[in-house]
């Protein structure tokens, strides 16, 4: 279950995107166990490879405030998209396979909830490290 407030927060975060190159404005929001919401947007760079996705910024926002466990994630993009591979590996570091992820759009007509483990079934995880 993804609270509506988290989905709305992701939509609002998308409005803060810095995406002058792709014009693809993305917002993300994560919720911690206390119900607090942390948001992020994509931040692009003229050196394109330095761009950071909204999901990682939302997670890093929460992580930098000491949060380590998450109960839900919401993602808003101009069309319904799933997190990129790099973001999936970062999500896997902190979230259970059962994490619900809401995929939505600015107007929210096609919101869909997916289970993180279904999206990314075999994350890299080395016992030796």
- Residue 45 interacts with ligand THU (CB under 6 A)? no
Distance of CA 90 to the CA centre of its chain: 10
Identified binder of ligand THU from the candidate list 67, 83, 90, 92, rule CB under 6 A: 83
Distance (Å, whole) CA 31 – CA 94: 12
Candidate list 4, 44, 55, 110, residue with the active-site label: 55
Identified binder of ligand THU from the candidate list 7, 26, 30, 99, rule CB under 6 A: 26
Identified binder of ligand THU from the candidate list 16, 24, 61, 89, rule CB under 6 A: 24
Q: Tell me, yes or no, if 55 is annotated catalytic.
A: yes
- Residue 81 interacts with ligand THU (CB under 6 A)? yes
- Residue 53 interacts with ligand THU (CB under 6 A)? yes
Give the torsion sign (CA, 87, 89, 90, 92): positive
Nearest distance from C-beta of residue 91 to ligand THU, angstroms: 11
Give the torsion sign (CA, 7, 32, 68, 38): positive
Q: How far is CA 105 from CA 17, 32, 38, 78, in A?
A: 14, 22, 18, 6
**Cβ pair 73, 95 in contact under 8 A:** yes
- Residue 42 interacts with ligand THU (CB under 6 A)? yes
Can you give the binding site for ligand THU, defined by CB under 6 A?
A: 19, 22, 24, 26, 42, 44, 51, 53-55, 81, 83-84, 87
**Residues marked as catalytic:** 55
């Amino acid at each position: 279950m993804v609270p509506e407030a988290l989905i709305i927060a992701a939509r609002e975060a998308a409005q803060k995107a810095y995406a002058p190159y792709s014009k693809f404005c993305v917002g993300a929001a994560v919720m911690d166990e206390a119900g607090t919401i942390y948001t992020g947007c994509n931040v692009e760079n003229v050196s394109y490879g330095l761009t950071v996705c909204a999901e990682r910024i939302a997670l890093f926002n929460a992580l930098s405030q000491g949060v380590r466990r998450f109960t839900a994630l919401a993602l808003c993009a101009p069309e319904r998209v799933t997190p990129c591979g790099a973001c999936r590996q970062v999500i896997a570091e902190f979230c259970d396979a059962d994490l619900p992820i809401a995929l939505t759009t600015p107007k929210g007509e096609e919101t869909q909830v997916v289970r993180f483990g279904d999206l990314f079934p075999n994350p890299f995880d080395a016992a030796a490290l």
